[in-house]
Structure 1
């Protein structure tokens, strides 16, 4: 009689079962891993019925969540219920189901202890209410952390080995490439439409010579970053370009057929989009602008030679220095040494801005009349036409390859009879892209036909160079500054003997012709 009374007065221990699986594979089965874990825990709780253990009906299941962190919905709900005083004991199938991190587990145990909640593992059979259970728990958890570290090292070693072989081993897709998962290991294949945009972005930077104008140009065109579908069918990416994303694109070695791993760069197995000489030219320009960032950011008076004129004595860039006297503006270029240490420390001192600017513009007029230069420009013009044809040929080949891959994938899906909402979305995407690619192939084919009929004659070059005065007069003050930066790399004026030395960019005059064509369009 007394034993029944003791059993009736014994308080019940409310037990919550927590289950977890790292991936969401096979969770749609009628009896999955989470169900197995719960079944084992329920059986253990039933065996402790005499101790007053009661299984709570609420489910705490995390399917598809890693044990490396605590960012799990069911785990968070479990902790909330513990703090609310609704749970007396947490039961798991195995210790690492709760956490694989020793630090995270220690934090969870602090919450358990603060709320008087015990922790039980079914397979290891211990209870944290006993000292031996706590000791065993710490030992097992240390081994779980060790196992996780070993797995991490193996994954890092595998990634390093794949990169050394030039293989792409996952990550966020980049503009210009798609991920082909039809084979054993995923690989990068060219997206012809995006690859053409990537080449244009490199060309824009070489022409505009600054990141911000490229961002503004792409915004006008309505171009955005890479968009893609995840395996769960979620669309990601598609953000507008900014200076950071443009810089990341321009410095990505993937575009020249390379793979980077930490500080090392390896030859990739994927096809490049950008020629090495173009990529190197962009890197050189980025480096130069990075070292001298800010020296041309402010040019309120549209000084033509700001950042271009150098002192022959000191080698420093001469600063544009405007001053007003009786409401009249006087402009000079002053050596940095003269500004910082006094005019007696520099033989150049200051130079009247209008005079030196007029001399440089006159020098441009003279070089466009040079017969030898015209022959060189004619060669450059022919080279540009040839490069345009080669680029169109490359784009046509890439479009054709992409259409073949998309058709093959579409046929494979039809043969295998795959179904589901995600696969239907992928099928629709493939059909849309095949039709778009067909239209682009027709456009590029027409452009190739037109390019094949284009040619530059000597008379065309003479006419283009002969219109320098007309072009210069058409330009606004700010456009003249931009054109001069495009043509000239360095100017030095030695006032001791009156010599003017001008260094031009390699393709300066060809750029002048292209600029003139754009102004007249």
Structure 2
């Protein structure tokens, strides 16, 4: 019986020519013919345009499927790093090969897993392959930093006021190169200058944001500028015609500076943030101040140094006048409370100190009303203690009708619940998928034996592959639906516990009250009637979009509680 040999080749960049891949395959064939003989069956797996940093490659996955199906006796590649540059990935691949009695040969390193020494040497070589990969990544990073120190634009989000252009030049070796440069967009840059001048006129970011909102000044994507974006624009030295005064200001604020100023070109800033992995997620965080730097760029500045420095001075003055006070109110409804008129979120706002109680007052105010100074919304503010009491009264009322509420939720989940039918449908789909996979394997085998009807066979294989993907997607959706049903049923137990706690919600700690509100309420709408008073409409979890919301006032809810909670239902 002939040896079944799989040859795997990979190239990081896609060129469409495949010279490197074809050379890898030919060298592997020559090696096998010389060392094993002619009685072999070759199967070629080629991935062009895929990195060795991970195993997410289509042909490699197909290869591993064939190995697990015990259709391959020997896997051959030109070099170890064609399989993977990552030690962990390579190690897991090697374990799969060994568990399915598939030998591995790397012809460049002359490694063979049929011997203990060969296996040991492969692990050592894979460590060096990963070291090479990490060294290349570090070298690229260092190169980018050196480019940055020379004032080169290294990519990223294009700042307001600029557009990017690609220009071709001839390097010192006479080879054509391309470089991306930022060029001033006159219309947008005039807006940037206007923002600098208006900020100085108004004196604060908040007032500037109000002005922007009232006058509907929007970005190139049609979004109104908010405080965070305005602050970035007003503090970015990419706009300033850098001179010695600007450099001195930056140095006094812990910036390292590269290059010489000419009162024409601006500054680019680098190394301010880095991406790190935390709790399985990639997040962006600030780097130490000692590592950030600015470099004189090849980009022409637009803002005069005097204007730019006055804006920075205004920021410093505002920081002194209005220091960050920290959290002063444990707001229960932030994130749940919306304005009943414009549907925007409502934010907590400080008020004066009460002459009666001596306590500081807090209000919820519409974010759009605040930003536009009532130009786009004039809904009255809500007294924090009043509206929070209204919400807690409504939750207490809900606790007295909890059986009806829970039954309604369970009925919804029951209607969705098709656990048995899901299982039957999944088995049927898996059977159909297996059948189609077998058809593909048979067609691939026929394709290797004949070329007369290759086009017909290839088209059939493509059709079956497409059908397989559809089936796999359906199976995945069924699994997700089944998981969701389990979560839904578990949620009802948590909801029931919170409903029991609602009987005495007004006596619970604020952290517990917030937890109950977040669990049981989807959204709250506020309709002000003046002097901090008004009514609310609450949409509880599980309510249908077509359900009519019911408006509550404090007097109505208090009366309901006193009269035994008859005649009113919550949504």
TM-score (norm: length of structure 2): 0.42
- Structure 1 or 2, whichever has the larger Rg, is 1
Structure having the higher helix fraction is 1
TM-score (norm: length of structure 1): 0.45
